Structure 1
Amino acid sequence: MQGKRVLVGISGGIAAYKVCEVISTLAKQGVAVRAILTDSAQAFITPLTISTLCRHAAYTDASFWQAHDRPLHIELGEWAELLVLAPLTANTLAKLVYGMADNLLTNTVLASTCPVLLAPAMNTDMWEQVPVQRNWQTVQTQPRMHTLAPGSGILACDRVGTGRMAEPVAMLAQIESLLYTSGQRDLVGKHLLISAGGTREFLDPVRFLGNPSTGKMGIALAQAALHRGATVTLVHGVLDTSIVALEGVQTLAVTSAAEMQQTLLKCFPNADWTIMAAAVADVKPASYSSEKLPKRSLPSSLPLAPVPDIVAELGALKQPHQKLIGFAAQTGDIVTPALEKLKQKKLDAIAANPIDQPNSGFGSDSNQAILLDHRGRKHVIAPCSKLHMAHQLLAFIHAI
């Protein structure tokens, strides 16, 4: 993200306050951020606030009419690698559809060629009006336009319904994706099946064998695939409850390895690529008690039974048009066991993932890996965000 250039266009809506977090986070990550406020936006948030967060003067329509070496909208349009319009009002949406340019923001959109991320926000009744919905569908036919549909909940007007602007965490994820891909949708038409999170194998209703997986890597893979145009199904075990919901992704929750096996086998025939990022148990208690065992009744040694080897089963079922990718979470030598797993389970590629390195593996927001494929290719992913790693993995698979 360091040195990337993002131009944020703020229209008049109460959701403008959410944009402050987006701008602040981007600036802290080393992104060069510039912002344009429409006249109505300034009724909700001041240019001083935005300029302070950007570490650069904010632009308004007053700036538009001042003398510049080059026309300001041309300069800004050429400068930006990504435009983010948030909140996008019904008024600005209509202008985008009809190519209108009556202020600095809309002139800059027309003077740019980079991807544009749209995050609308408005009252539910406004959002559901036929002209607004028609404009929303129309603007999405423009190849440059990428969208974050509004969510549902209680609005500033106390109405409960659709119209809430996407949360900053979702906006930041899509901004990172767009800066990586430059807006390329290279997975359109692909159906990706992704597993995530840890499974739990219960001894009784309150005790289980598990692992520290939070599902963050699988979530990042689902986000990256969705941002690149894929249809995504996410089969997940236990996830970090702080992880944002994935709008546009089909999510199927499971608990045990057996439930994950059943769900994945059902979904697998329709998948073009299957990525097994879940931390699935290897064993389970040999017996299960439907009632909580008293402490005095707990066995001094716990008999274990194997659970299904889901990856091997999918490898045996894989068709020529399908790709199956695994993960190998390892300590020490990560390559040798990963290569063995790649061959034994008939994988197309595998991510050898060190879990004994700082800021990588379970629960971390960052990760690193060595990618290996069945033809002997190798790609090293240096420590980076899990979303960045997800994009590198998807690019690696695409090249197979």
Structure 2
Amino acid sequence: MLRGKRVLIGIGGGIAAYKVCEVISSLFKAGAQVRVILTESATAFITPLTVSTLSRHPAYRDRDFWQPTHQRPLHIELGEWAEIFLIAPLTANTLGKLACGLADNLLTNTVLASRCPILLAPAMNTEMWEQLAVQRNWQQLRQDPRYHSVGPDAGLLACDRVGTGRMAEPTEIFLALQSLLYTQGKRDLVGKQILISGGGTREFLDPVRFIGNPSTGKMGLALAQAAFYRGASVTLVCAPLEGSVPVQILEIANAAQMREAMLQCLPKADWIVMSAAVADVKPASYTPHKLPKKALPDCLPLEPVPDILAELGTKKHPHQRLIGFAAQTGDIVKPALEKLQRKNLDAIAANPIDRAGAGFASNTNEAVFLDRAGRQQTIPSCTKLELAHQLFDFIQTVK
């Protein structure tokens, strides 16, 4: 998603500037071309040498603005070059300039000379962030379709204040950049209510032993991230997972809890994407204290758990779209087609879990998308975030 992409980064004057170093490094490692603009106040927190070393390209400052070495004005060249523009940390000062359309330095001039999507990552003291003027400027920018945001988060700030104002973490910014590069800033899922399940359920025998599977929830998380950055309202029902996404998250442990949460959220959903790896069976009885090893049964009685996807298929309304996942070995298409028909799905993503770099716990995935009209689309190996975006593209074409 990033190889060869042109990413322009503007760094504002704030202590969070050090976090941007990780973003620059990650972008370069992913194959992106990176250019960096430092405001004069930013150089008090991070040096041009640091960012130029990480980006493998000289950093730009205000003193480079009108140098005769540039055949064309620098802000015009950079604005036309960029495919996406990240401003991080976004300070209250730069926010105010952007809201008013002011251009008194290289960074703000380049904003006005560009047409690409702009991702804003605010960072400031909580009192500053909550000021009426700052919030007015922020809401004004968010109404402009060019501007997208990540954060700010809540937590301990550099001023020892606990509250909202922390810049989003580098991993969150990196994921947001990938989504915006894929969509080119379009918000084609605005107005959609999307319900997603993710992760693997655990069916406990006692407080420490359970029947489960290797699912980590990475695919569900990627689906939630992709839908969010395309403008959807997202609810993620999931087992505990690593990572974060700025959507409503309902944490569950077992299949019964997932069923309850999914059925509760179903009436408001337009699309339901069931990517969770739900257990098929559970221990017939649960012991609330840890069983001693000698008390473990030689033969463990099991009973089936409710088929959540099939139940959703019987309850969905004509305007709703229900999408399943089928983790398979060997031939993945035939079992997925049978599942599609049997459970009244609108589409399904068939995953090979017996191939390297696909399926459970991997950062990449591959799939075959199928719908009830008989269409098939093969998705070669890619990141799970890219696969999520391609699935949403596919769902929009389902009749």
State TM-score, norm by structure 1: 0.98
* Aligned-partner Cα distance in 2 for 1:42–1:294: 62
* Aligned-partner Cα distance in 2 for 1:39–1:293: 64
* Corresponding residue of 2:27: 26
Q: Which amino acid aligns with 1:38?
A: T
Q: Which amino acid aligns with 2:113?
A: A
* Corresponding residue of 2:359: 361
* Aligned-partner Cα distance in 1 for 2:296–2:155: 46
Contact preservation (8 Å) 2:85, 2:119 = yes
* Corresponding residue of 1:189: 191
Report Cα offsets for 1:39-65 as digits up to 9, x if no partner. 111111111111111111111111102
Q: Which amino acid aligns with 1:45?
A: I
* Aligned-partner Cα distance in 2 for 1:222–1:308: 24
Q: Offset of 1:290 from its aligned partner?
A: 2.4
Report Cα offsets for 1:244-294 as digits up to 9, x if no partner. x222x1110111101111110010111000000100000011122223222
Aligned counterpart in structure 2 of residue 95 of structure 1, from 86, 94, 97: 97
* Aligned-partner Cα distance in 2 for 1:288–1:61: 67
1:308-387 correspondence to structure 2 within 5 Å = 308-387=306-385
1:253-332 correspondence to structure 2 within 5 Å = 253-332=251-330
* Aligned-partner Cα distance in 2 for 1:250–1:123: 25
**Secondary structure in 2 matching 1:53:** helix
1:43-58 correspondence to structure 2 within 5 Å = 43-58=44-59
Contact preservation (8 Å) 2:35, 2:59 = yes
Contact preservation (8 Å) 2:155, 2:162 = yes
* Aligned-partner Cα distance in 2 for 1:369–1:114: 31
Q: Offset of 1:81 from its aligned partner?
A: 0.5
Contact preservation (8 Å) 1:199, 1:238 = no
Contact preservation (8 Å) 1:199, 1:281 = yes
* Corresponding residue of 2:129: 127
Q: Which amino acid aligns with 1:393?
A: L
Task: Find out whether 1:36 has 2:37 as its counterpart.
Answer: yes
**Secondary structure in 1 matching 2:111:** helix
Between 177-186 and 61-70, the greater mean CA deviation after superposition = 61-70
* Corresponding residue of 2:180: 178
Q: Offset of 1:398 from its aligned partner?
A: 1.0
Task: Find out whether 1:246 has 2:245 as its counterpart.
Answer: yes
1:201-216 correspondence to structure 2 within 5 Å = 201-216=203-218
Report Cα offsets for 1:83-113 as digits up to 9, x if no partner. 0000000000000000000011100000001
* Aligned-partner Cα distance in 1 for 2:296–2:124: 57
Contact preservation (8 Å) 1:359, 1:365 = yes
* Aligned-partner Cα distance in 1 for 2:293–2:377: 49
Q: Offset of 1:149 from its aligned partner?
A: 2.4
* Aligned-partner Cα distance in 1 for 2:66–2:377: 50
Q: Which amino acid aligns with 2:3?
A: Q
* Corresponding residue of 2:147: 145
How many residue pairs get matched?
Answer: 396
Contact preservation (8 Å) 1:198, 1:239 = no
* Aligned-partner Cα distance in 1 for 2:203–2:15: 46
Which segments of 5 or more consecutive residues in structure 1 lack a partner in the other structure? none
Contact preservation (8 Å) 2:316, 2:322 = yes
Identity of aligned residues (%): 67
**Secondary structure in 2 matching 1:379:** strand
Q: Which amino acid aligns with 2:223?
A: L
Contact preservation (8 Å) 2:84, 2:116 = yes
**Secondary structure in 2 matching 1:7:** strand
1:44-123 correspondence to structure 2 within 5 Å = 44-67=45-68, 68-123=70-125
Contact preservation (8 Å) 1:6, 1:31 = yes
Which segments of 5 or more consecutive residues in structure 2 lack a partner in the other structure? none
* Aligned-partner Cα distance in 2 for 1:157–1:205: 42
**Secondary structure in 1 matching 2:108:** helix
* Corresponding residue of 2:5: 4
Q: Which amino acid aligns with 2:162?
A: V
**Secondary structure in 1 matching 2:88:** strand
State TM-score, norm by structure 2: 0.98
